Structures are given as C-alpha cells and as structure tokens.
C-alpha cells in the first residue's frame, strides 16, 4: 500500500464549479500535511499547508481528519487557471523528508 494515496483523476469541471480532492495516508505518525500544485512540465509549488483545525486561503479550503488519516482540498468557483495536478504531501515528526502522493489532475473548461 502506498504511504499517500490520491485519486489520479482527471477531474473535468466547468468554470465556476466546486471540486473536492481527497487523500489518505497510511502512517499514523504523520505530523505535517500539505497540498502542492504542479503545472504541466513545471516544478511543484506549495499551495497551502493543512492544519488540524482546517484552513482556508481564498477559494481554497484544506481539512485534516487525523482519526481517519484523511486530507481534503476544496476549490470553490473554479478558474481556468486552476487546471493543474494537485499533490498531497505528508511528513513525519522530526524527519526531513516529505512523502508525495501521485497527484490528482484537474482540468477546468470554459
């Protein structure tokens, strides 16, 4: 079983739609959680960290459920520019390493 699992998609949604991505992780010792965004043929970039209480950044909301070892990302009012692959990332306490999911591809169409 992979340490971090994501639905690969693609998710094809119209502009203005709300879309949600889910991610599960297998290591209960995981302590830090992130969503990264990767555009086609580009490097990954941090989208947002995920905090225990949940957090929001504009149209993006991230939530964490430690009991179920589950992370989610909600995008409201989708824009064409949101088209990308979204990577779920976890790390364990006191480690210098990040574990990446394989990513979920989002395509927003007009």
Is 34 a binder of another protein (CB under 8 A)?
yes
Which is nearer to another protein, 60 or 100 (by Cβ)?
100
CA atoms within 13 Å, Cβ hemisphere of 85: 18
74 with 50: CB under 8 angstroms? no
Q: How far is the CB of 1 from another protein (least distance, A)?
A: 14
- Residue 65 DSSP SS3: strand
Among the listed residues 19, 73, 84, 87, the single contact to another protein using CB under 8 A? 87
- For residue 10, cis peptide bond before it (omega within 30 degrees of 0): yes
Q: Which residues bind another protein (CB under 8 A)?
A: 8, 32, 34, 42-46, 49, 87, 96-98, 100-103
């Amino acid at each position: 079983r992979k340490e971090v699992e994501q639905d690969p998609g693609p998710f094809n949604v119209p502009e203005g739609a709300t879309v949600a991505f889910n991610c599960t992780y297998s290591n209960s010792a995981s302590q830090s959680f992130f969503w990264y965004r990767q555009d086609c043929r580009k490097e990954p970039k941090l989208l947002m960290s995920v905090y225990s209480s949940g957090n929001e950044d504009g149209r993006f909301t991230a939530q964490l459920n430690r009991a179920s070892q589950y992370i989610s990302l909600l995008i409201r009012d989708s824009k064409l520019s949101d088209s990308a692959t979204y990577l779920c990332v976890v790390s364990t306490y006191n480690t210098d390493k990040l574990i990446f999911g394989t990513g979920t591809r989002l395509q927003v169409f007009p």
